[in-house]
Amino acid sequence: MAYKDEKLHEEKVFKDPVHRYVHVRDRVIWDLVGTPEFQRLRRVKQLGTSYLTFHGAEHSRFNHSLGVYEIVRRIIDNFQNREHWNHEERLLCLTAALLHDLGHGPFSHSFEKVFKLDHEYFTRAIILGDTYVHAILQRVAPDFPQKVADVINKTYENKLVVSLISSQIDADRMDYLQRDAYFTGVSYGHFDMERILRVMRPMEDQVVVKESGMHAVEDYIMSRYQMYWQVYFHPVTRSAEVILTKVLHRAKQLYEEGYTFKCAPVHFETFFKGEPDLQAYLKLDEAITLYYFQMWQEEEDPILSDLCWRFVNRKLFKYVEFNPNTQMNEWMELYKLFQKAGMDPDYYLVVDSSSDLPYDFYRPGEEGERLPIHLLLPNKELQELSRKSEIVEAISGKKRTDHKLYFPKDLIERLSKRSKTKKRILEILYG
Protein backbone atom coordinates (compact mmCIF):
# COMPACT_ATOMS: atom_id res chain seq x y z
CA MET A 1 0.00 0.00 0.00
CA ALA A 2 1.20 3.51 -0.77
CA TYR A 3 2.64 5.27 2.28
CA LYS A 4 0.06 8.02 1.97
CA ASP A 5 -2.78 5.53 2.33
CA GLU A 6 -1.24 3.44 5.06
CA LYS A 7 -3.37 3.02 8.16
CA LEU A 8 -2.15 2.07 11.62
CA HIS A 9 -2.93 -1.50 12.57
CA GLU A 10 -5.11 -0.11 15.30
CA GLU A 11 -6.23 3.46 15.78
CA LYS A 12 -4.07 5.35 18.31
CA VAL A 13 -5.48 7.86 20.73
CA PHE A 14 -4.06 10.67 22.78
CA LYS A 15 -5.98 11.57 25.91
CA ASP A 16 -6.72 15.23 25.55
CA PRO A 17 -8.31 17.35 28.26
CA VAL A 18 -10.03 19.61 25.77
CA HIS A 19 -11.27 17.27 23.05
CA ARG A 20 -11.24 14.16 25.30
CA TYR A 21 -9.44 12.09 22.68
CA VAL A 22 -7.29 12.86 19.67
CA HIS A 23 -7.62 10.03 17.16
CA VAL A 24 -4.90 9.03 14.73
CA ARG A 25 -5.35 6.41 12.09
CA ASP A 26 -2.91 7.54 9.39
CA ARG A 27 0.65 6.27 9.48
CA VAL A 28 1.88 9.62 8.11
CA ILE A 29 0.36 11.60 10.98
CA TRP A 30 1.72 9.15 13.54
CA ASP A 31 5.20 9.38 12.07
CA LEU A 32 5.11 13.17 12.01
CA VAL A 33 4.15 13.35 15.68
CA GLY A 34 7.23 11.25 16.43
CA THR A 35 9.74 13.55 14.78
CA PRO A 36 12.21 15.58 16.86
CA GLU A 37 10.95 18.78 15.24
CA PHE A 38 7.41 18.11 16.37
CA GLN A 39 8.43 16.83 19.81
CA ARG A 40 10.35 20.07 20.23
CA LEU A 41 7.00 21.87 20.48
CA ARG A 42 6.71 20.35 23.96
CA ARG A 43 9.42 22.79 24.97
CA VAL A 44 7.61 25.89 23.73
CA LYS A 45 4.71 27.18 25.78
CA GLN A 46 1.47 27.92 23.97
CA LEU A 47 0.93 31.18 25.81
CA GLY A 48 4.48 32.40 26.34
CA THR A 49 4.68 34.36 29.57
CA SER A 50 0.99 34.03 30.50
CA TYR A 51 1.82 31.35 33.05
CA LEU A 52 3.22 34.16 35.21
CA THR A 53 -0.31 35.60 35.37
CA PHE A 54 -2.43 32.44 35.13
CA HIS A 55 -0.48 29.69 36.81
CA GLY A 56 -2.37 26.96 34.96
CA ALA A 57 -1.22 28.21 31.56
CA GLU A 58 1.82 25.97 31.36
CA HIS A 59 0.65 24.04 28.33
CA SER A 60 2.80 23.70 25.25
CA ARG A 61 2.33 24.17 21.52
CA PHE A 62 2.54 20.39 21.23
CA ASN A 63 -0.83 20.24 22.98
CA HIS A 64 -2.38 22.84 20.75
CA SER A 65 -1.02 21.35 17.51
CA LEU A 66 -2.63 18.00 18.26
CA GLY A 67 -5.85 19.83 19.05
CA VAL A 68 -5.95 21.68 15.74
CA TYR A 69 -5.30 18.42 13.93
CA GLU A 70 -8.20 16.78 15.78
CA ILE A 71 -10.65 19.56 14.95
CA VAL A 72 -9.75 19.43 11.27
CA ARG A 73 -10.16 15.66 11.40
CA ARG A 74 -13.68 16.06 12.74
CA ILE A 75 -14.61 18.76 10.25
CA ILE A 76 -13.44 16.59 7.37
CA ASP A 77 -15.35 13.61 8.69
CA ASN A 78 -18.50 15.69 8.37
CA PHE A 79 -17.53 16.81 4.87
CA GLN A 80 -17.38 13.33 3.44
CA ASN A 81 -19.60 12.96 0.39
CA ARG A 82 -20.52 16.63 0.33
CA GLU A 83 -20.32 18.72 -2.80
CA HIS A 84 -17.20 20.89 -3.14
CA TRP A 85 -15.25 18.52 -0.93
CA ASN A 86 -12.43 16.61 -2.57
CA HIS A 87 -11.49 13.65 -0.43
CA GLU A 88 -8.03 13.66 -2.01
CA GLU A 89 -7.20 16.75 0.04
CA ARG A 90 -7.80 14.95 3.34
CA LEU A 91 -4.22 14.06 4.25
CA LEU A 92 -3.00 17.48 3.18
CA CYS A 93 -5.49 19.17 5.50
CA LEU A 94 -4.58 16.96 8.44
CA THR A 95 -0.88 17.46 7.91
CA ALA A 96 -1.09 21.20 7.52
CA ALA A 97 -3.23 21.39 10.66
CA LEU A 98 -0.74 19.37 12.65
CA LEU A 99 2.28 21.31 11.44
CA HIS A 100 0.92 24.85 11.20
CA ASP A 101 2.81 26.07 14.29
CA LEU A 102 5.95 24.02 13.76
CA GLY A 103 8.16 27.07 13.36
CA HIS A 104 7.30 28.70 16.65
CA GLY A 105 10.33 29.39 18.77
CA PRO A 106 10.60 30.17 22.47
CA PHE A 107 8.41 33.05 23.66
CA SER A 108 7.64 33.73 20.02
CA HIS A 109 6.16 37.14 20.31
CA SER A 110 9.15 38.75 22.00
CA PHE A 111 11.77 36.85 20.04
CA GLU A 112 10.18 37.77 16.74
CA LYS A 113 10.01 41.41 17.70
CA VAL A 114 13.55 41.70 18.97
CA PHE A 115 15.26 39.57 16.34
CA LYS A 116 12.89 40.40 13.50
CA LEU A 117 12.06 36.75 12.97
CA ASP A 118 8.99 35.28 11.43
CA HIS A 119 7.77 31.93 12.73
CA GLU A 120 5.94 31.27 9.50
CA TYR A 121 9.24 31.51 7.67
CA PHE A 122 10.69 28.84 9.94
CA THR A 123 7.62 26.65 9.63
CA ARG A 124 8.24 26.59 5.90
CA ALA A 125 11.95 26.08 6.42
CA ILE A 126 11.33 23.01 8.56
CA ILE A 127 8.84 21.58 6.11
CA LEU A 128 11.04 22.17 3.08
CA GLY A 129 14.49 21.82 4.63
CA ASP A 130 16.65 18.92 5.68
CA THR A 131 14.55 17.63 8.54
CA TYR A 132 12.84 14.48 9.77
CA VAL A 133 9.52 16.11 8.99
CA HIS A 134 10.56 16.80 5.43
CA ALA A 135 11.68 13.21 4.90
CA ILE A 136 8.27 11.92 5.90
CA LEU A 137 6.35 14.40 3.78
CA GLN A 138 8.60 13.56 0.86
CA ARG A 139 7.65 9.91 1.16
CA VAL A 140 4.00 10.84 0.65
CA ALA A 141 4.78 12.49 -2.65
CA PRO A 142 7.63 14.60 -4.01
CA ASP A 143 5.45 17.72 -4.17
CA PHE A 144 3.75 17.10 -0.85
CA PRO A 145 6.11 19.19 1.32
CA GLN A 146 5.54 22.16 -0.92
CA LYS A 147 1.79 21.70 -0.81
CA VAL A 148 1.80 21.60 2.98
CA ALA A 149 3.91 24.73 3.08
CA ASP A 150 1.54 26.42 0.64
CA VAL A 151 -1.50 25.65 2.73
CA ILE A 152 0.14 27.07 5.84
CA ASN A 153 1.36 30.00 3.77
CA LYS A 154 -2.23 30.54 2.52
CA THR A 155 -1.06 30.40 -1.09
CA TYR A 156 -2.42 26.96 -1.88
CA GLU A 157 -4.76 27.09 -4.84
CA ASN A 158 -7.69 25.36 -3.14
CA LYS A 159 -8.80 28.10 -0.78
CA LEU A 160 -11.26 25.79 0.90
CA VAL A 161 -8.30 23.86 2.29
CA VAL A 162 -6.61 27.06 3.40
CA SER A 163 -9.71 28.29 5.16
CA LEU A 164 -9.78 25.25 7.46
CA ILE A 165 -6.51 26.43 8.98
CA SER A 166 -6.63 30.16 8.42
CA SER A 167 -9.87 32.02 8.51
CA GLN A 168 -11.85 33.89 11.09
CA ILE A 169 -13.33 30.63 12.31
CA ASP A 170 -10.65 28.08 11.64
CA ALA A 171 -9.52 25.04 13.58
CA ASP A 172 -6.54 26.98 14.94
CA ARG A 173 -8.67 29.49 16.77
CA MET A 174 -11.33 27.07 17.83
CA ASP A 175 -8.66 25.03 19.52
CA TYR A 176 -6.70 27.75 21.17
CA LEU A 177 -9.69 29.56 22.61
CA GLN A 178 -10.95 26.43 24.28
CA ARG A 179 -7.52 25.18 25.28
CA ASP A 180 -6.30 28.44 26.71
CA ALA A 181 -9.58 28.81 28.64
CA TYR A 182 -9.19 25.29 29.99
CA PHE A 183 -5.65 25.70 31.19
CA THR A 184 -5.98 29.22 32.56
CA GLY A 185 -9.25 28.23 34.20
CA VAL A 186 -11.15 31.32 33.08
CA SER A 187 -14.84 30.94 32.42
CA TYR A 188 -14.69 32.59 29.01
CA GLY A 189 -13.58 30.71 25.96
CA HIS A 190 -16.46 28.27 25.89
CA PHE A 191 -18.70 27.94 22.88
CA ASP A 192 -20.58 25.14 21.27
CA MET A 193 -17.95 23.76 18.91
CA GLU A 194 -19.90 20.58 18.31
CA ARG A 195 -22.74 22.68 16.94
CA ILE A 196 -20.42 24.78 14.79
CA LEU A 197 -18.79 21.68 13.30
CA ARG A 198 -22.23 20.35 12.43
CA VAL A 199 -23.25 23.47 10.52
CA MET A 200 -19.99 23.99 8.65
CA ARG A 201 -20.29 23.42 4.92
CA PRO A 202 -17.60 23.29 2.28
CA MET A 203 -17.97 25.77 -0.55
CA GLU A 204 -15.84 26.41 -3.59
CA ASP A 205 -13.25 28.55 -1.89
CA GLN A 206 -14.05 28.56 1.80
CA VAL A 207 -15.83 26.90 4.66
CA VAL A 208 -19.12 28.58 5.48
CA VAL A 209 -21.61 28.18 8.30
CA LYS A 210 -25.31 27.50 7.91
CA GLU A 211 -27.41 30.42 9.10
CA SER A 212 -29.08 28.22 11.71
CA GLY A 213 -25.75 28.11 13.51
CA MET A 214 -25.36 31.87 13.70
CA HIS A 215 -25.88 32.11 17.45
CA ALA A 216 -23.21 29.51 18.12
CA VAL A 217 -20.85 31.58 15.97
CA GLU A 218 -21.79 34.74 17.84
CA ASP A 219 -20.90 32.95 21.03
CA TYR A 220 -17.55 32.00 19.55
CA ILE A 221 -16.84 35.61 18.55
CA MET A 222 -17.75 36.80 22.01
CA SER A 223 -15.47 34.19 23.57
CA ARG A 224 -12.71 35.52 21.44
CA TYR A 225 -13.39 39.06 22.51
CA GLN A 226 -13.35 38.09 26.17
CA MET A 227 -10.24 35.95 25.85
CA TYR A 228 -8.35 38.77 24.19
CA TRP A 229 -9.08 41.26 26.92
CA GLN A 230 -9.07 38.91 29.86
CA VAL A 231 -6.18 36.66 28.97
CA TYR A 232 -4.12 37.51 25.93
CA PHE A 233 -3.73 41.24 26.65
CA HIS A 234 -3.52 40.89 30.40
CA PRO A 235 -1.25 43.68 31.67
CA VAL A 236 0.71 41.39 33.98
CA THR A 237 1.54 39.08 31.10
CA ARG A 238 2.60 42.10 29.11
CA SER A 239 4.82 43.17 31.97
CA ALA A 240 6.63 39.84 31.74
CA GLU A 241 6.89 40.28 27.96
CA VAL A 242 8.39 43.72 28.48
CA ILE A 243 11.09 42.31 30.73
CA LEU A 244 11.77 39.40 28.42
CA THR A 245 12.14 41.76 25.49
CA LYS A 246 14.50 43.97 27.42
CA VAL A 247 16.66 40.99 28.44
CA LEU A 248 17.08 40.06 24.79
CA HIS A 249 17.77 43.65 23.81
CA ARG A 250 20.39 44.00 26.54
CA ALA A 251 22.16 40.76 25.74
CA LYS A 252 22.26 41.70 22.08
CA GLN A 253 23.60 45.13 22.85
CA LEU A 254 26.26 43.75 25.17
CA TYR A 255 27.24 41.20 22.55
CA GLU A 256 27.58 43.90 19.93
CA GLU A 257 29.62 46.02 22.32
CA GLY A 258 32.05 43.16 22.88
CA TYR A 259 31.08 42.57 26.50
CA THR A 260 32.64 39.42 27.96
CA PHE A 261 29.90 37.14 29.17
CA LYS A 262 30.56 34.77 32.06
CA CYS A 263 28.14 32.48 30.31
CA ALA A 264 28.63 33.08 26.61
CA PRO A 265 25.43 33.33 24.56
CA VAL A 266 26.40 30.46 22.25
CA HIS A 267 22.84 29.55 21.27
CA PHE A 268 22.04 33.20 20.58
CA GLU A 269 24.94 34.17 18.40
CA THR A 270 23.34 33.71 15.00
CA PHE A 271 20.27 35.51 16.33
CA PHE A 272 22.34 38.49 17.45
CA LYS A 273 23.93 38.56 14.05
CA GLY A 274 20.50 38.57 12.44
CA GLU A 275 21.00 35.34 10.54
CA PRO A 276 19.85 32.34 12.53
CA ASP A 277 20.01 29.22 10.46
CA LEU A 278 17.52 26.39 10.77
CA GLN A 279 19.64 24.21 13.05
CA ALA A 280 20.38 27.05 15.43
CA TYR A 281 16.71 27.95 15.45
CA LEU A 282 15.61 24.41 16.26
CA LYS A 283 18.00 24.17 19.16
CA LEU A 284 16.83 27.29 20.93
CA ASP A 285 13.78 26.24 22.88
CA GLU A 286 12.41 27.60 26.18
CA ALA A 287 14.48 25.29 28.38
CA ILE A 288 17.65 26.59 26.76
CA THR A 289 16.44 30.16 27.02
CA LEU A 290 15.67 29.75 30.70
CA TYR A 291 19.12 28.22 31.23
CA TYR A 292 20.75 31.40 29.97
CA PHE A 293 18.42 33.66 31.92
CA GLN A 294 19.26 31.79 35.09
CA MET A 295 22.98 31.92 34.36
CA TRP A 296 22.91 35.59 33.40
CA GLN A 297 21.56 36.50 36.82
CA GLU A 298 25.20 36.33 37.78
CA GLU A 299 26.58 38.52 34.99
CA GLU A 300 28.50 41.66 35.94
CA ASP A 301 26.31 43.91 33.81
CA PRO A 302 23.79 45.21 36.34
CA ILE A 303 20.99 45.67 33.83
CA LEU A 304 21.24 42.21 32.32
CA SER A 305 21.55 40.50 35.68
CA ASP A 306 18.70 42.51 37.21
CA LEU A 307 16.34 41.89 34.31
CA CYS A 308 17.14 38.17 34.27
CA TRP A 309 16.61 38.01 37.99
CA ARG A 310 13.25 39.70 37.54
CA PHE A 311 12.12 37.28 34.87
CA VAL A 312 13.27 34.12 36.64
CA ASN A 313 11.86 35.11 40.00
CA ARG A 314 8.80 36.95 38.71
CA LYS A 315 9.67 40.37 40.03
CA LEU A 316 7.71 42.12 37.31
CA PHE A 317 7.30 45.78 36.51
CA LYS A 318 4.22 47.61 37.75
CA TYR A 319 2.13 49.70 35.40
CA VAL A 320 -0.17 52.67 35.07
CA GLU A 321 -2.48 53.72 32.26
CA PHE A 322 -0.71 55.92 29.76
CA ASN A 323 -2.03 58.00 26.90
CA PRO A 324 0.73 58.78 24.41
CA ASN A 325 -1.36 61.49 22.78
CA THR A 326 -1.75 63.61 25.87
CA GLN A 327 0.98 62.50 28.24
CA MET A 328 4.17 62.92 26.24
CA ASN A 329 5.32 65.72 28.51
CA GLU A 330 4.98 63.55 31.56
CA TRP A 331 6.84 60.82 29.77
CA MET A 332 9.68 63.17 28.85
CA GLU A 333 9.96 64.31 32.43
CA LEU A 334 9.94 60.76 33.73
CA TYR A 335 12.60 59.81 31.23
CA LYS A 336 14.92 62.42 32.66
CA LEU A 337 14.02 61.63 36.25
CA PHE A 338 14.80 57.96 35.66
CA GLN A 339 18.18 58.87 34.20
CA LYS A 340 18.86 61.05 37.19
CA ALA A 341 17.91 58.23 39.57
CA GLY A 342 20.26 55.87 37.80
CA MET A 343 17.59 53.69 36.20
CA ASP A 344 18.28 53.50 32.48
CA PRO A 345 14.92 54.52 31.03
CA ASP A 346 15.53 52.53 27.86
CA TYR A 347 15.21 49.44 30.02
CA TYR A 348 13.14 50.59 32.95
CA LEU A 349 10.48 52.89 31.54
CA VAL A 350 8.54 51.13 28.85
CA VAL A 351 5.35 52.01 27.01
CA ASP A 352 3.52 48.95 25.77
CA SER A 353 0.43 49.06 23.59
CA SER A 354 -2.00 46.24 23.16
CA SER A 355 -2.45 47.29 19.56
CA ASP A 356 1.01 45.98 18.86
CA LEU A 357 -0.40 42.57 19.56
CA PRO A 358 -2.32 40.49 17.05
CA TYR A 359 -5.67 42.05 17.80
CA ASP A 360 -8.16 40.39 15.59
CA PHE A 361 -11.23 39.27 17.39
CA TYR A 362 -13.18 40.08 14.28
CA ARG A 363 -12.46 42.47 11.52
CA PRO A 364 -14.00 41.49 8.20
CA GLY A 365 -12.15 42.84 5.23
CA GLU A 366 -9.60 44.74 7.20
CA GLU A 367 -7.21 41.95 7.69
CA GLY A 368 -5.60 40.56 4.61
CA GLU A 369 -4.82 37.15 5.92
CA ARG A 370 -7.95 35.83 7.43
CA LEU A 371 -11.16 35.28 5.52
CA PRO A 372 -14.29 36.71 7.13
CA ILE A 373 -17.09 34.38 8.20
CA HIS A 374 -19.88 33.78 5.76
CA LEU A 375 -23.30 32.46 6.60
CA LEU A 376 -25.04 30.12 4.20
CA LEU A 377 -28.64 31.27 3.92
CA PRO A 378 -31.50 28.84 3.24
CA ASN A 379 -31.70 30.24 -0.30
CA LYS A 380 -28.06 29.15 -0.79
CA GLU A 381 -26.73 32.69 -0.87
CA LEU A 382 -23.86 33.78 1.33
CA GLN A 383 -23.88 36.69 3.73
CA GLU A 384 -20.99 38.08 5.73
CA LEU A 385 -21.61 37.49 9.43
CA SER A 386 -21.55 41.05 10.70
CA ARG A 387 -24.30 41.99 8.26
CA LYS A 388 -26.64 39.53 9.89
CA SER A 389 -25.56 39.60 13.50
CA GLU A 390 -26.17 42.74 15.49
CA ILE A 391 -23.72 41.77 18.17
CA VAL A 392 -20.89 41.02 15.82
CA GLU A 393 -21.59 44.14 13.85
CA ALA A 394 -21.44 46.09 17.07
CA ILE A 395 -17.99 44.94 18.06
CA SER A 396 -16.30 44.31 14.75
CA GLY A 397 -13.80 46.62 13.25
CA LYS A 398 -13.51 48.66 16.40
CA LYS A 399 -9.87 48.92 17.17
CA ARG A 400 -9.41 49.32 20.87
CA THR A 401 -5.93 50.24 21.90
CA ASP A 402 -4.71 50.12 25.41
CA HIS A 403 -1.42 51.76 26.40
CA LYS A 404 0.36 51.16 29.63
CA LEU A 405 3.56 52.48 31.12
CA TYR A 406 5.73 49.85 32.84
CA PHE A 407 8.39 50.51 35.47
CA PRO A 408 10.12 48.88 38.47
CA LYS A 409 8.18 50.19 41.43
CA ASP A 410 10.49 48.39 43.85
CA LEU A 411 13.54 50.28 42.61
CA ILE A 412 11.73 53.60 42.83
CA GLU A 413 10.68 52.85 46.37
CA ARG A 414 14.21 52.04 47.29
CA LEU A 415 15.34 55.57 46.43
CA SER A 416 16.19 57.73 49.41
CA LYS A 417 13.18 58.94 51.32
CA ARG A 418 14.21 62.53 51.03
CA SER A 419 14.89 62.29 47.30
CA LYS A 420 12.93 64.88 45.32
CA THR A 421 13.34 62.71 42.26
CA LYS A 422 11.53 59.88 43.94
CA LYS A 423 8.77 62.15 45.11
CA ARG A 424 8.27 63.63 41.67
CA ILE A 425 8.32 60.24 39.93
CA LEU A 426 5.63 58.91 42.23
CA GLU A 427 3.62 62.07 41.78
CA ILE A 428 3.59 61.74 38.03
CA LEU A 429 2.83 58.05 38.10
CA TYR A 430 0.16 57.94 40.77
CA GLY A 431 -1.08 61.51 40.85
* Interacting residues with a second copy (CB under 8 A): 13-18, 20-21, 34, 36, 39, 42-43, 51, 54-56, 58-60, 62-63, 66, 182-188, 190-192, 194-195, 198, 215-216, 218-219, 222, 225-226, 229-230, 283, 285-288, 290-291, 294, 312-315, 390-391, 393-395, 398, 400
Q: Which is nearer to a second copy, 88 or 390 (CB)?
A: 390
- Judging by DSSP bridges, how do beta strands 200-202 and 207-210 pair with one another? antiparallel
To a second copy, the closest distance from the beta carbon of 341 in angstroms equals: 24
Q: Which is nearer to a second copy, 58 or 269 (CB)?
A: 58
DSSP character for 14?
E
To a second copy, the closest distance from the beta carbon of 214 in angstroms equals: 10
Cβ neighbours, 10 Å, residue 234: 19
Q: Which is nearer to a second copy, 87 or 400 (CB)?
A: 400
Beta strands in 226-370 (DSSP E): 318-321, 350-353
Q: What is the distance between the terminal CA atoms of the chain, rounded to a whole angstrom?
A: 74
Question: CB of 363 within 8 A of CB of 397?
Answer: yes
Reported as type and span, the H/E element at residue 113 is helix 108-115
The DSSP code sequence of 121-148 is HHHHHHHHSSSHHHHHHHHH-TTHHHHH
Query: Following CA atoms 274, 277, 281, 282 in sequence, which dihedral angle do they give, to the nearest 10 degrees?
Result: 180
The DSSP code sequence of 229-265 is IIIIT-HHHHHHHHHHHHHHHHHHHHHHTT---SS--
To a second copy, the closest distance from the beta carbon of 195 in angstroms equals: 7
Alpha-carbon distances, residue 39 vs 36, 63, 372 (angstroms): 5, 10, 33
To a second copy, the closest distance from the beta carbon of 20 in angstroms equals: 6
To a second copy, the closest distance from the beta carbon of 372 in angstroms equals: 18
To a second copy, the closest distance from the beta carbon of 250 in angstroms equals: 20
To a second copy, the closest distance from the beta carbon of 361 in angstroms equals: 11
Beta bridge partners of 24: 12
Q: Which is nearer to a second copy, 85 or 191 (CB)?
A: 191
Q: Which is nearer to a second copy, 147 or 201 (CB)?
A: 201
Question: CB of 216 within 8 A of CB of 192?
Answer: yes
Residues whose CB is less than 8 angstroms from the CB of residue 1 and which lie 6 or more positions away in sequence, other chains included: none
Q: Which is nearer to a second copy, 156 or 191 (CB)?
A: 191
To a second copy, the closest distance from the beta carbon of 310 in angstroms equals: 11
> Could you give the CA distance from residue 303 to residue 248 in angstroms, rounded to a whole number?
11
To a second copy, the closest distance from the beta carbon of 191 in angstroms equals: 7
Q: Which is nearer to a second copy, 103 or 235 (CB)?
A: 235
To a second copy, the closest distance from the beta carbon of 370 in angstroms equals: 21
Q: Which is nearer to a second copy, 62 or 319 (CB)?
A: 62
Residues whose CB is less than 8 angstroms from the CB of residue 104 and which lie 6 or more positions away in sequence, other chains included: 41, 44, 61, 119, 122, 123
Alpha-carbon distances, residue 43 vs 19, 22, 293, 305, 309 (angstroms): 22, 20, 16, 24, 21
Q: Which is nearer to a second copy, 116 or 398 (CB)?
A: 398
Q: Which is nearer to a second copy, 13 or 382 (CB)?
A: 13
Beta bridge partners of 375: 209, 383
> Could you give the CA distance from residue 156 to residue 163 in angstroms, rounded to a whole number?
10
